[in-house]
Structure formats: structure tokens, C-alpha cells
Amino acid sequence: MTTKDMVLKILEQNKDLFVSGEELAKKAYVSRAAVWKAVSSLQKDGYQIEGVSRKGYRLLSSDLFSKDEVAKYLKDIPFFFYEDVDSTNTEAKRLLNNGTKAPFVCIAKKQSGGRGRRGRSFLSQEGGIYFSIALPANGSFDAELVTTAAATGIAEAIESLGLEVGIKWVNDLFVRGKKAVGILTEGVVNLEEGCISEVIIGIGTNYTTGSFPPELKEICTSLFPDGKAPLTRSEFAAKEIEETIKAIYNPDYLTEYRKRCFVLGKEITVLKMNASMPAKAIDLDDRAHLVVQYPDGTIEHLSSGEVSIRSTL
């Protein structure tokens, strides 16, 4: 363990408390000058460390989101970390095209060109967590079901923080009645074999985002809009990734998805092919298709499309 790592570990064990330079030097088995150099380097990395004469140093509570921090918590899958990227899904495709083998994850603090379903843009500002998981489509999971499976995994990660989550079929997660998470799944096609070779699951979470543009503030929210989150973004990003992968490989996830899908039993409007039709959402079938009934009694199993709940007022 380097001097820098030792100093950080000691400060983390005494977070928000002052530790004298002498004590840090003694515990790290280095000189006071080496402690000062280590603290300076940590501050450059983004750690909020306060130094006060005759008191020492203290690590202030902060939401540090960096490659080194994520590496402390995410152990079982390779990842790439970006301060800013156009889109983590797009970056994952670039890596695959350049020979990087799945599985891996692309994680970003911000996206300049985040994408949602139907070609929409996805707001990706500071305070969010944005990542894409690239997995080989080798038959070890059902590629058609990854979106709903991922939604279940993310819901479980959020609920571990004490929040209630609802899922709007097919890929939006709601907290306190507003959208907090979006999911975009894409397949990479092997042209020679004519089949999907990899699946990319892109997930954007409004974690501590404090404000939204006027056109979004009534429909979007953050998990912790006041910024007081129990886990750092680094910790929670790792948890989201782990829970998502676990759900994707869990053949029984659909029961948990149904419990959280709040459109079931509701009067809805089905939007597809530039047309809108009133219907009632009555169930989810075993392929995660939304089963709807139209006013004339016709039943349809929707594999794609978009729905909105109709007001009964």
C-alpha cells in the first residue's frame, strides 16, 4: 500500500475528524513531509481534505465519483471511467468495434449526447450516474428480456436505500411519482452470422441532481435532490451494476418486475406507429409483453411501444 493509500485510509477511518500530521506519519510509517505530499496529491484527485495548523487534516464527507473510487466497490467486471462522454452506449459500441471483449462497463459522470428511446435526448448533468453494461449474447440470458430485467435490478438497488420504486412499462423507474431512471437497451449485430453478438444496457440515474429545466421539473426527479445521499455515487454505481447483472441472469425476475409495474390495472393510452389508442393494461405475459385490452374487447400483447396512464378525473 502506498503512502497516499495509507493516509487516505486513516483519514477515511476518522472522517470529519482532525488527525494530526504527526499521528498520520506515525501510523503510515513515513515522514511528515511525505504525509504533506500525500495529502496534496489526494486533494488534486478531488478529495476534500481540510488542513488546519495545530489540528492536522480531516477528510470532509464528499460525493467523490472517480475511477479509483469505483474500483473500491466494483470488483467482478472490467470498467472504463469517463469524466464526460457523448454517450456511454455509443462508447461501448466503439470499444466493441475496436476489439474490446464483453463483458465490461462504461461509466461516466456526464454525457453530452445521452440518448433515450425513440431517438429522444436524455438529460445527463452533474449529480447523475450514467453507465452502459456490455454483455455477450451467448445464450446465458434471454436478450429479449434484458430491459425489464435491468429495471428490476435497478429498482432493488434503489430500494436498498430506503426509497419506494415504481416501474412504468417498459423501461422507466419512478420515485415519488416522477421519473428518476431511464434505460436504453441496444443489440450489436454480427453481420457475418446475422445475429446479435452483444447486448448493451444503458442506464441513467438522477442521483443527486438538484434541479431540472422547466420542461422537465414536473416530470423528473432525483433520488436525493437535496444532495444528502447515504452512499457516494461511486458506491451506488457499483451497486446498480451488480444488481442489474444479477437480475439479468435471474430467470425468475419477472415476478418482482410485476410487483412494481404501476400501469397494470390502469386505463392507459397506447402510443405506436404515430397513433394513440385507449386501452386497459391487464397483465404482463411471460415474455414481459404488456397485455392490453381495447374498448372493443380485442386483446393485444405489446412487445414495444409506449403507454401513458389516462386521468380518470
Integer Cα distance of 153 and 3 in angstroms: 38
Lowest mean pLDDT among 110-114, 217-221, 227-231, 282-286: 110-114
Question: Sign of dihedral through CA atoms 134, 137, 143, 148?
Answer: negative
Is 169 in a helix, a strand, or coil?
coil
Which CATH code for domain 267-309? 2.30.30.100
User: Is 175 in contact with 221 (CB distance < 8 Å)?
Assistant: yes
One-letter amino acid at 208 equals T
Global pTM value: 0.84
Which CATH code for domain 3-59? 1.10.10.10
Which CATH code for domain 67-260? 3.30.930.10
- pLDDT per position as a tens digit, 78-99: 999 998 999 999 999 999 999 9
- pLDDT per position as a tens digit, 178-204: 999 999 999 998 877 778 999 999 999
* The Cα angle at residue 284 between residues 223 and 184, in degrees rounded to 5: 45
Q: What is the mean pLDDT of the chain?
A: 91
Give the relative orientation of helices 21-28 and 32-44 as an angle to the nearest 10 degrees. 100
Residue with cell 492536522: 56
Mean pLDDT of 212-238: 92
Integer Cα distance of 174 and 283 in angstroms: 19
* Ramachandran bin of 177, using left for φ above 0, alpha for ψ from -120 to 50, beta for the remaining angles: left
- Which residues fall within 8 angstroms of residue 304, CB to CB, at 6 or more apart? 170, 272
Q: Where are the domains of the chain?
A: 3-59, 67-260, 267-309
* The Cα angle at residue 260 between residues 161 and 258, in degrees rounded to 5: 140
